[in-house]
Amino acid sequence: MSFDISIKIAGQAGQGIQSIAEILLKVLKLNGLHVFAYQDYMSRVRGGHNFMQVRISDSPVYSIKEDCNILVALDTNSVDVHRNEVPKGGAIIYDPHSTMVDSPDNRFIPIPMNNLAKEAGSPVLSNTISAGSILALLDIDKMDAEEFIKKQFAKKGEEVIGKNLKALAKGYAYFLENFRNWKFTDIKAQKKNKTILINGSEAVGFGAIAGGCQFIAAYPMSPSTGVFTYITGKAKEFNIISEQAEDEIAAINMALGASFAGARAMTTTSGGGLSLMAEGLSLAGVMEAPVVVVNAQRPGPATGLATRTGQEDLEYVLHIGHGEFPRFIFAPGHHEEAFFTTIHAFNLSDKYQVPAFILIDQYFADTYATEKEFDLNKVKAISYQPSVVSTPYLRYKITKDGVSPRAYPMQGDFTFIADSHEHTENGHITEDGEVRNKMVEKRFRKLKGMQKEFGKPTYYGDKLVPSGSEKGKAKTVFITWGSNYGVVRETVDCLKKQKRSVAMLHFNRIYPFPRKEAVSLLKGAKEIITVENNYQGQFGNILKAETGIEADRKILKYDGRPFTVEYILKRI
Amino acid sequence: MENTNPFHYEGELSWCPGCGDFQILKSVEKTLTSLNKKPSEVVLVSGIGQAAKLPHYIHANGFNGLHGRALPPAFGIKAFNRDLTVLVTTGDGDCYGEGGNHLIHAIRRNIDITVIVHNNQVYGLTKGQASPTSEVGMVTKTQPYGVVSLPFNPIAFAIAMDTPFVARSYSKEIDFTAELIRQGVETKGFALIDILQPCVSFNKINTYQWYSQRVYKLDNTYDPTNRVKAFEKSLEWGDKIPIGVIYRSQRQTYDETLDRLGIKPQINPAHNLIQRGSSQGVMCGVNTLPDLSKVKSLLSEF
pLDDT, tens digit, for every residue of B146-172?
999 999 999 999 999 999 999 999 999
CB of A476 within 8 A of CB of A494? Answer: no
Nearest to B269 among A373, A407, A410 (CB): A410
Give the gap in angstroms from C-alpha B181 to the nearest C-alpha of chain A: 22
- 3 state DSSP class of A144: helix
Considering chain B, what is the average pLDDT of its residues?
92
- Using a CB–CB cutoff of 8 Å, tell me whether A150 touches chain B: no
Residue type, A193: N
In a domain, B274, yes or no: no
Whole-angstrom distance, CA of residue A3 vs CA of residue A449: 46
Residue type, A218: A
* CA-wise closest residue to A251 among A280, A284, A224, A285: A280
Strand ranges across the sheet with A108-110: A108-110, A91-94, A70-73, A4-13, A47-57, A34-40, A368-372, A195-199
CB of B102 within 8 A of CB of A246? Answer: yes
Name which of A237, A241, A244 to mutate to probe chain B: the one with the most chain B Cβ atoms within 10 A of its Cβ.
A241
Nearest to A253 among B11, B65, B80 (CB): B65
In a domain, B125, yes or no: yes
Give the gap in angstroms from C-alpha A203 to the nearest C-alpha of chain B: 10
Whole-angstrom distance, CA of residue A145 vs CA of residue A203: 24
**Taking CA atoms, what residue in A is nearest to B275?**
A387
In a domain, B143, yes or no: yes
* Helices B71-80 and A248-260, axial angle in degrees (round to 10): 40
In a domain, B273, yes or no: no
CA angle B228, B229, B232 (to 5 degrees): 90
DSSP A355-372: EEEEEEEHHHHH-EEEEE
Whole-angstrom distance, CA of residue A528 vs CA of residue B132: 57
pLDDT given at position B281: 45
* CA-wise closest residue to B43 among A468, A514, A115, A408: A408
Nearest to B286 among A234, A255, A262 (CB): A262
In a domain, B289, yes or no: no
In a domain, B196, yes or no: yes
In a domain, B55, yes or no: yes
Cβ neighbours around B7 below 10 Å, total: 22
pLDDT given at position A469: 54
Residue A83 Cα distances to A9, A37, A137, A185, B182, angstroms: 12, 19, 18, 20, 73
pLDDT given at position B274: 40
CB of B45 within 8 A of CB of B62? Answer: yes
State CA B126 to chain mean position distance. 21
Cβ neighbours around A275 below 10 Å, total: 16
In a domain, B294, yes or no: no
Range of the domain at B200: 20-256
Give the gap in angstroms from C-alpha A562 to the nearest C-alpha of chain B: 24
Nearest to A387 among B45, B79, B283 (CB): B283
**Taking CA atoms, what residue in A is nearest to B48?**
A420
pLDDT of B273 > 60? The answer is no
Q: Report the CATH number at residue B245.
A: 3.40.50.970
**% of chain B at pLDDT higher than 90:** 87
Whole-angstrom distance, CA of residue A236 vs CA of residue A221: 22
Burial class from Cβ neighbours inside 10 Å (0-12, 13-18, 19+) for residue A447 reads middle
- Using a CB–CB cutoff of 8 Å, tell me whether A413 touches chain B: yes
Average pLDDT over residues B4-17: 91
Nearest to A410 among B62, B81, B280 (CB): B81
CB of A315 within 8 A of CB of A542? Answer: yes
Which residues from chain B sit within 8 angstroms of residue A243, using beta carbons? Answer: 75, 79, 109
- Using a CB–CB cutoff of 8 Å, tell me whether A380 touches chain B: yes
pLDDT given at position A47: 83
Whole-angstrom distance, CA of residue A265 vs CA of residue A116: 50
Residue A248 Cα distances to A104, A218, A277, A300, angstroms: 51, 6, 6, 17
pLDDT, tens digit, for every residue of B74-114?
999 999 999 999 999 999 999 999 999 999 999 999 999 99
pLDDT given at position A14: 87
Q: Which helix (H) or strand (E) holds B170?
A: strand B165-170
Q: pLDDT tens, position by position, for chain A (572 residues)?
A: 688 999 999 999 888 999 999 999 999 999 999 999 999 888 888 888 999 999 999 999 999 999 999 999 999 999 999 999 999 989 999 999 999 898 899 999 999 999 999 999 999 999 999 999 999 999 898 888 999 999 989 999 999 999 999 999 999 999 999 998 877 777 777 777 789 999 999 999 999 999 999 999 999 999 999 999 999 999 999 999 999 999 999 999 999 999 999 999 999 999 999 999 999 999 999 999 999 999 999 999 999 999 999 999 999 999 999 999 999 999 999 999 999 999 999 999 999 999 999 999 999 999 999 999 999 999 889 888 887 788 889 999 999 999 999 999 998 889 999 999 999 999 999 999 999 999 999 999 999 999 999 999 999 997 655 455 555 578 999 999 999 999 999 999 999 999 999 999 999 999 999 999 999 999 989 999 999 999 999 999 999 999 999 999 999 999 999 999 999 999 98
Q: Count up the domains in chain B and report the number.
A: 1
Domains along chain A with CATH numbers: 4-193 (3.40.920.10), 198-372 (3.40.50.970), 385-454 (no CATH), 458-569 (3.40.50.920)
